[in-house]
Structure 1
Amino acid sequence: MKHILFILLAAAGIATSLPSCEKWEFLEEHPKKVDATTFMSNAAEVQSVINSIYYQLRRQVGFGRYLSVLSESLADYCYGRGNYATSYATGLTSGGVSFTNDTWAVLYRAIRFSNEILSQIGDAKLSQLEYDHLSGEARFLRAFSYSYLARYYGAVPFFDEHNMHDFNKPRTPERDIWEFVAREAADAAGLLPESVAQAGRPARYAALMLETEALLYLERWSEAAAAVGEVIDSDRYGLVEVSKADDYEKIYGTTANATREEIFYFKYNQDDGNNFMSMYLCRPNPVRDGGNVGIYTDYEKNLFVKGWDKADLRYQYNLWIQTGNGTLNSLTKTGMICLKFRDYNSTGAANDFPVYRYADALLYYAEAICRRDGKPDETAMEALNQVHRRAYGLKPTRPQGSDFRLADYATQDKFMELLLQERGYETAFEGKRYCDLKRCGKLAEYAVRAGRVAAESEVGPAAYWWPVPADEFNYNTSLDPTKDQNPGY
């Protein structure tokens, strides 16, 4: 059985048993201050408090479902149903808004716990190495949480260990949040170990991946190339090789753990499973008798999917034609569902959520080089081709006659179009596509290309951001619900 981060919450003195819909009155009260002399006196106790952050982020309202699935409804390659039926014109459904309220709460709870740890860790009896690793882990998780607030909500209130008791904070500009994430991730990379004994915790290279993402958002291309280049040059990671579609189980299946491709994943097991798998399934399917069909696609109407090479093993593994479900058939007669995350057991869903894979590193590297130089070079093309070769069962590092040629994609625009296509195929249903398209200024254009809308003008302001929760305006007197709400809400 896969090792998982077991949560020793009692040691942290933190209440964590909340119903699926977050109770905002719980957020009014600052969490009880952890007594460093009682609860954080040594490395084991500090680690037990850090574990509570993973618990928050792994929950259904975090990466267990909402953060991994909800944005997929605005990816160009699929559609949402029910609470996930987000519209390019009007944004989230009322159910979707309630989900994002909970997501805001859980991300800030992770930040708050990180701040508590960092404000008191200096009082614990730790060696210098223990202090570095534990404070680096807390700083990584705090920066990571801010990165998701920035990508979905834009400007947000900022709290660290120095101002965490002042709840009335205005929205800090999105760019400033990303600047903080870049600095904090770089600092965390200098503190974290080169490798970890327990899969699911961040090593130095997870922090470098987070730094890379922040630098891409900030358009600091040279620094982004250097950060992700360090991940690649470490030789600690590589692409898992496949020869047939089902070999992708070695990357996404329930027994895949600490593979050479894994840089940072959220870990799940049968006893404490994820909720995202069921959102992609519906009866009947070849995995299990169940599913909620929150997200689906269409092999005729969706032009991204229709144009996907059927010989691509990712297409064969990820997608399954669904003609026997009445709910889906009422929406489309040419529907497909996602089978990327497969757990054939009747209960639980033990698939891990892949935050950073080596494939992400290669494609970020290719993008950063192209943006830095204003055009791609052979290094950028080779990084992209490694991902592409693997998709056809070929050895990733061995050049092939079928490789993309630099001469055919010599300009920045042509190469970025190729890269966004390849990244879309590679990371489909991993909660990354919407953010990629938005960051690159391509959300509306690619919605048209995929046939999701007829014209870019149909993509309204609400498609770009999630709303600031109404309760935030109730409790934070520095925010004005008229001036500080995101457009379209």
Structure 2
Amino acid sequence: FVAEAKFIRAFNYFNLVRNWGGVPLRTDLNLDEVDVKRSTEAEVYDFIFQDLSDAENKLPEEPRNIGRPTTYAVKSLMADVYLTKGMYSEASSKAFEVIQSDKFSLVPVTSVEDFQYNLFGPDILTTTEEIFYLKFARQPNLGNWILFILNHPDTGLFNFGGAYAHYSDSTNPFYVNWDDNDLRKGLWDQIDFGLGETTLVSKKYVDQNAVERSAGAGNDLPIYRYAEILLIYAEAMARETGVPTAEGMEALNKVHRRAYGQEIDSPSSFDYNLEDYNLDSFVDLVLDERAYEFVFEGKRWYDLKRTGKAAQTIIEAKGITIAERHYLWPIPIQEIDFNDAINSENQNPGY
């Protein structure tokens, strides 16, 4: 249980440091202290690596129960942290350890419905792609709270009043530039429920039998799945060597083929060709694939941040200029009020 807790703690601190920079570190040595000073980003990352190194060596290869972390969940998180830190050799190495284990594979699909129900559906217990997910059950207070409201079995459409639905706009460049042959695009429906004729609603995590309209869905939420490991490996290998590699391109193409309903391990007419890309264009290709593959999985902002592409991408898509301060969130005023080791001078710049 200690190793599992260290994995969860490392994951949480990884999210904290990416969103706020340096944060107070709670350890066995200061658990009883109310006031804890803000550590530096470097100190937080050192703490993350320490927890992950310990957990990696102590967690099993198979989960004790479905949903419990394994050593491969740790390796996946390590690969993600290394990629974020620009430690590309280490990132590709950890990703390859997961790939080489042969314990995971992409779920094959041939239709939009396969994506919706065989990969993200509410009745799935687990899949060959799952490395670490937040697990939910179709019960009050145990269900997924990001339920997307579509396709009710009785009416064909939920009453959107009072229900949550993630929506976008079909004029968004992200959607406009998305290939219509990509099955993942079919996880969006164009429905006017009062916001305009170009309204898009996602059906990626639909549960037609959710016990509540704003929660109570059975869909699990991916934290790490095999598709991401393949794409981390592809990007990290290219950055490590300075050029796209055949191994990295094949890892990318596996994810890309699946998106078009093709055989995952066989060359297809949708494949990208290695000779057509240099390092920069290949990294852009991987980032685009990540954007389409991981919609609503909490990856995009961090990808844009770590690659320095956030400002350009957001102004092109939304016409909004972001400032330097937007890369970190403000320290909550409650934290400053109740932690005497932090004051207004410790606030992130621009707030």
TM bracket (short chain): over 0.9
Q: Residue 315 of structure 1: CA displacement? A: 0.5
- Corresponding residue of 1:469: 332
CA contact (8 A) 1:363 1:423 kept: yes
User: Are 2:8 and 1:151 equivalent residues in the alignment?
Assistant: no
Q: Residue 294 of structure 1: CA displacement? A: 6.1
Q: Please show how residues 58-457 of structure 1 align to structure 2 within 5 Å.
A: 134-248=1-115, 249-271=117-139, 272-278=142-148, 286=156, 288-290=158-160, 292=163, 295-300=166-171, 302-317=172-187, 319-323=188-192, 325-326=193-194, 328-329=195-196, 333-347=197-211, 348-409=216-277, 411-450=278-317, 452-453=318-319
User: Are 2:318 and 1:485 equivalent residues in the alignment?
Assistant: no
Q: Residue 400 of structure 1: CA displacement? A: 1.6
- Corresponding residue of 1:95: none
Q: Which amino acid aligns with 2:326?
A: A
SS of 2:275's equivalent? helix
- Residues of 2 paired with 1:144 and 1:469: CA distance? 21
SS of 2:105's equivalent? coil
SS of 1:264's equivalent? strand
Q: Which amino acid aligns with 1:296?
A: Y
Higher helix share: 1
Per-residue Cα deviation, 1:241-266 (whole angstroms, up to 9, x for no partner): 00111001111001122210000001
- Residues of 1 paired with 2:109 and 2:200: CA distance? 23
Per-residue Cα deviation, 1:306-335 (whole angstroms, up to 9, x for no partner): 100111000012x11022x12x22xxx311
- Residues of 2 paired with 1:217 and 1:163: CA distance? 28
Q: 1:295 to 1:485 in 2, by over 3 A?
A: farther
Detail structure 1 runs of 4+ shifted over 6 Å in the superposition: 280-285
CA contact (8 A) 1:288 1:344 kept: no
Q: Which amino acid aligns with 1:320?
A: D
Q: Which amino acid aligns with 1:212?
A: A
- Residues of 1 paired with 2:251 and 2:294: CA distance? 15
Q: Residue 486 of structure 1: CA displacement? A: 2.3
Q: 1:401 to 1:295 in 2, by over 3 A?
A: closer
- Residues of 1 paired with 2:238 and 2:158: CA distance? 43
CA contact (8 A) 1:281 1:292 kept: no
Q: Which amino acid aligns with 1:274?
A: N
- Residues of 2 paired with 1:449 and 1:150: CA distance? 27
Q: Give the CA RMSD over aligned residues.
A: 2.0
Q: Residue 287 of structure 1: CA displacement? A: 6.0
- Corresponding residue of 1:119: none
TM-score with structure 1 length normalisation? 0.67
- Corresponding residue of 1:21: none
SS of 1:147's equivalent? helix
SS of 1:172's equivalent? coil
- Residues of 1 paired with 2:156 and 2:128: CA distance? 28
Report the count of equivalent residues.
342
Q: 1:218 to 1:179 in 2, by over 3 A?
A: farther
CA contact (8 A) 1:274 1:349 kept: yes
Q: Which amino acid aligns with 1:475?
A: F
TM-score with structure 2 length normalisation? 0.92
- Corresponding residue of 1:91: none
Q: Residue 386 of structure 1: CA displacement? A: 0.3
Q: Which amino acid aligns with 1:471?
A: Q
- Corresponding residue of 1:127: none
- Residues of 1 paired with 2:200 and 2:232: CA distance? 29
Q: Residue 169 of structure 1: CA displacement? A: 2.2
Q: Which amino acid aligns with 1:262?
A: E
Per-residue Cα deviation, 1:191-220 (whole angstroms, up to 9, x for no partner): 000101311110110011111111112211
Q: 1:193 to 1:346 in 2, by over 3 A?
A: closer
CA contact (8 A) 2:150 2:206 kept: no
Structure 2: where are the runs of 5+ without partners? none
Q: Which amino acid aligns with 1:340?
A: K
- Residues of 2 paired with 1:380 and 1:360: CA distance? 13
Q: Residue 285 of structure 1: CA displacement? A: 9.0
- Residues of 2 paired with 1:487 and 1:461: CA distance? 8
Q: Residue 402 of structure 1: CA displacement? A: 2.4
Q: Which amino acid aligns with 2:349?
A: P
Q: Residue 350 of structure 1: CA displacement? A: 0.9
Q: Which amino acid aligns with 2:73?
A: A
- Residues of 1 paired with 2:350 and 2:203: CA distance? 33
Per-residue Cα deviation, 1:423-452 (whole angstroms, up to 9, x for no partner): 0000011111111111211111111332x1
Q: Which amino acid aligns with 1:205?
A: Y
Q: 1:349 to 1:422 in 2, by over 3 A?
A: same
- Report sequence identity in percent: 39
Structure 1: where are the runs of 5+ without partners? 1-133
CA contact (8 A) 2:150 2:156 kept: no
